[in-house]
Chains A and B, each alone.
Chain A
Amino acid sequence: MDYRISEPVVGPRREDTLPASVTTAVKVVIVGGFGVGKTTLVGSVSEIRPLTTEEIMTQAGAGVDDIAGVERKNETTVAMDFGRITLSDELVLYVFGTPGQQRFWFLWNGLFEGALGAVVLIDTRRLEDSFDVMGRLEERGVPFIVAINAFPDAPTYPASELRQALDIPDGVPVIDCDARERVSSRDGLLTLMRYLHALTTTNPERR
């Protein structure tokens, strides 16, 4: 039996409740390869201790072999960390960090629909991981910026070289970031918003 729900309900702590006046919620998604600092970034900007949400992924047809071994061959549960920032009395921003090792996060229905955009975190020691991630975003038409998470022993490249190596489209901002720092992570989100703002005001027909 499962008594979890029958026990006194675990809900948000008092200090984690949103003002009753909040009417609008928006979301952004932090993506990147395994261990690039997605969860760290979510935690550093979030006003609440990051939470974990989950979804059941059903994978039909191609790729079923890849998840052989789970009880139902074509079902797998994917977990995602997220945090929250109350921006005003009416507006709240949710920041979702995709899992690095689970392979089907991009099939999560509704993750990218309605998202303002995405931040692609990059570790220069493992550049190859970022191709796949950026490809998925482009497929879905999700606007993104690129943030290079500065690990101490990671090689540094001039931005132009990275842009070329990773085939980052012109106009997509590339910035340095330290996901452990709240201000640096916040600035990453701001860079994304400025970029979206520019896209919206210069080319309203896009997407």
Chain B
Amino acid sequence: MSDPEQDQHRAWEEGGPERLYVITSGRQVPERHSSLDMVTLIVSRNEPGPGMQPELAAIVRICGYPLSVAELSAYLHLPVSVITVLLTDLLASGHVEARASALTQSLPDVELLEAVMHGLQNL
């Protein structure tokens, strides 16, 4: 049960600390992010570059249509904070763009709520 090699292997497979460290090139996964929310929509601007890190290329490839940070986390089996680190690179290099949502103000705006209600009523 507690074969250390097996445990380590399992931690890696499940996205344990070692694997995440490698994916983010050892950068500290930040505690809190300023601009990227779980529902910030990400869209690619071009094709993955040659020799791009596989996780970065994967993001660029599947964001041909908008996908939220949460969906990226789900499809790539990586924690949201790791996705956020990867996206920081991709945003800086211009491979993807973020459609920042109209969230994070204190109270939602009335027009936004009305649009949500209207959409729900039509389901």
Chain B contacts for A24, CB-based, 8 A: 99, 101-102, 112
Chain A contacts for B11, CB-based, 8 A: 71
CB–CB B116/A26 < 8 A: yes
Within 8 A of B (CB), among A78-118: 82, 84-88, 91-94, 96, 109-111, 113-116
Which A residue's beta carbon lies closest to that of B32? A109
CB–CB B58/A9 < 8 A: yes
CB of A23, distance to nearest CB on chain B (Å): 5
CB–CB B71/A55 < 8 A: no
From known contacts A56-B79, A87-B116, A200-B113, infer whether A26 and B108 are also in contact, taking CB-CB under 8 Å: yes
Chain A contacts for B12, CB-based, 8 A: 2
B114 close to A (CB within 8 Å): yes
Chain A contacts for B43, CB-based, 8 A: 20
CB–CB A204/B76 < 8 A: no
CB–CB A10/B65 < 8 A: no
CB–CB A54/B104 < 8 A: no
CB–CB B120/A186 < 8 A: yes
CB–CB B116/A91 < 8 A: yes
CB–CB A197/B80 < 8 A: no
The answer, among B38, B76, B102, for a CB contact under 8 Å with A110, is B38
CB–CB A109/B71 < 8 A: no
CB of B48, distance to nearest CB on chain A (Å): 10
CB–CB B66/A200 < 8 A: no
From known contacts A114-B37, A200-B109, infer whether A93 and B66 are also in contact, taking CB-CB under 8 Å: no
CB–CB B107/A207 < 8 A: yes
The answer, among A19, A77, A206, for a CB contact under 8 Å with B79, is A77
CB–CB B108/A116 < 8 A: yes
Chain B contacts for A53, CB-based, 8 A: 38, 70-71, 73-74, 80
Would you give 12 A-B contacts (Cβ < 8 Å), ordered by A?
A4-B77, A6-B54, A10-B75, A11-B61, A25-B40, A26-B39, A26-B103, A53-B70, A55-B81, A110-B80, A114-B103, A190-B121
Given A54-B78, A94-B70, A197-B110, 8 other A-B residues pairs in contact with their CB atoms under 8 A: A12-B65, A27-B38, A91-B119, A94-B38, A94-B68, A116-B113, A186-B120, A193-B120
